[in-house]
Amino acid sequence: MATQSFSRMAPWHLLGAGSLGCLYAAYLRRAGCDLHLLLRDALSLDLLQCNGGIRLQQDGKEQTISIADESATAISKPIQNLLVCTKAQQTLNAIRAIKPHLVSQPIIVLLQNGMGVRELLAREVPDAIFLHAISTEGAYQTQRFNVVHAGHGNTVLGAIDLSQQEIAQQVAESLRCELSIDIVDDIEKRLWLKLAVNSVINPLTALHRCRNGELLLLSNIDSTITNLCAEFVAVANADRQNLTLEQCRAAVYDVINATAQNRSSMLQDRLAKRSTEIDFINGFIVQRAKQHEVVCTHHAALIAAVKTPQP
């Protein structure tokens, strides 16, 4: 295979017009990035066009930012650089829909919750170079394509294969805008720690129908968090991640306290009776546990509970 490289001249395509996707699309476009927002159907395309673009509310000010938009079924330019903000469970089908438009050796940046998506996509697009990004930016939509930048955070980006860090650096520079983005060389460890947090907060808030901070009011919550983190650490360390129980517990409590008023995406999906990311969060942990012959009953129980139909 030829050496992969990053093209600064090629436009960026963004897949996934949720809150974070719209936030990034708005800021990147405002910074002058040649960005194309890929929408799943003509109805979404019409809605965005009627909206005049993405309406961004930031620090009490509102601006409508025009976006080059395309239906995933009618893409005009080949896709070289792709930022993926779809939910994990939707990503494989979304990539399959646009696969005919991917050039040889595309750059694909995954900015989403959960783990295991890269492995699925690598089988679908074996010549792609995959990078990962993690963001703590706070955003929500008041209605479709109207996004509120609710809290300033930062984004880190990196390659799991450190031989690809030079490309990751070039990608990070091309995505620079008013949103903070930094290159890191430990993205895999950060992904695992984020998974630890999501595997506790997301399913528990979904089951108890509560905000993140309200978890601390539940009886025996410390024991529950400890049991989930202990199983997680056993699986992560069997996967050569070198994490500690104290690290994971601290990360979970830090996020609960920092996002106390937030409603997790899994809670929102479950209330709306949509599919959740559980298979790519707790499901990923249980899958790796089976591979490493690690007992993981607490996470398995959460999966079963979240998947149980609601009355």
pLDDT tens per residue across span 144-171 = 999 999 888 999 999 999 999 999 999 9
Q: Is the pLDDT of residue 81 over 80?
A: yes
Q: How many CB atoms lie within 10 A of CB 68?
A: 15
Quickly list DSSP for 182-230: EE-S-HHHHHHHHHHHHHHHHHHHHHHT--GGGGGGSTTHHHHHHHHHH
pLDDT score, position 4: 63
Q: What percent of the chain has pLDDT over 70?
A: 98
What pTM, to 2 d.p., does this model score? 0.94
The CATH superfamily of 12-185 is: NAD(P)-binding Rossmann-like Domain (3.40.50.720)
Q: Is the pLDDT of residue 1 over 70?
A: no
The one catalytic residue among 61, 77, 194, 307: 194
Q: What confidence tens digit (pLDDT) does each residue in 234-247 have?
A: 999 999 999 999 99
What average pLDDT does this structure show over 203-232? Answer: 97
pLDDT score, position 71: 74
pLDDT score, position 91: 97
Given pLDDT bands bounded at 50, 70 and 90, which one contains residue 6?
confident
pLDDT score, position 43: 87
Mean pLDDT of the chain: 94
Question: Could you tell me if residue 161 is left (phi over 0), alpha (psi between -120 and 50 degrees) or otherwise beta?
Answer: beta
**Ranges of each domain in the chain:** 12-185, 189-307
Q: What percent of the chain has pLDDT over 90?
A: 88
Q: Is the pLDDT of residue 15 over 70?
A: yes
Q: Is the pLDDT of residue 77 over 90?
A: no
What average pLDDT does this structure show over 276-285? Answer: 98
pLDDT score, position 124: 97
Q: What confidence tens digit (pLDDT) does each residue in 185-212 have?
A: 999 999 999 999 999 999 999 999 999 9
Please name which of 146, 145, 173 lies closest in space to residue 157, comparing C-alpha atoms: 173
Backbone angles phi, psi at 215, to 5 degrees: -60, -35
Asked if 224 and 252 touch (Cβ cutoff 8 Å), the reply is no
What average pLDDT does this structure show over 90-108? Answer: 95
pLDDT score, position 2: 41
Q: Is the pLDDT of residue 3 over 90?
A: no
Asked if 116 and 287 touch (Cβ cutoff 8 Å), the reply is yes
What average pLDDT does this structure show over 265-284? Answer: 95
pLDDT score, position 167: 95
Residue 194 known to be catalytic:
yes
pLDDT score, position 42: 83
Asked if 125 and 153 touch (Cβ cutoff 8 Å), the reply is no
Is CATH 1.10.3110.10 the classification given to domain 189-307?
no
Q: What confidence tens digit (pLDDT) does each residue in 284-307 have?
A: 999 999 999 999 999 999 999 999
